[in-house]
Amino acid sequence: MRKTGRITAEGQGAATVTLACPAGRKVLGGGADADSGDPSGYDLVESGPDLDATAWKASAVGSAGMPRTDGHFYAVRADADG
């Protein structure tokens, strides 16, 4: 099952968003990227699972003087028992 989320970085602001799995599910993979605004003003600084693979976390930082940039991220998950 795939779950998606939004992340926004504006100016020198930072944003972190987490997609948590329901009980009994684990993250198999995921990703994040910029999809609107000026991607050159948006640095993805983290995209990966948490330590116990029950959530996907994405963090981005905006560059000074750059417009707001939106991105999306996703997590692919499955039942923990296979």
| pLDDT tens-place string over residues 46-81 | 888 999 988 888 888 777 666 666 677 777 777 766
What SS3 state is found at 40?
Answer: helix
Mean pLDDT of 24-38: 77
Mean pLDDT for the stretch of residues 34-48: 71
Confidence of residue 16 (pLDDT cuts 50, 70, 90): confident
Tokens linked to 73 = 């991220």
0.75 exceeded by pTM: no
Question: What is the per-residue burial (b if ≥16 Cβ within 10 Å, else e) of 25-57?
Answer: bbbeebebebeebeeebbebeebebeeeebbbb
Tokens of 26: 């684990």
CB of 56 closer than 8 Å to CB of 30: yes
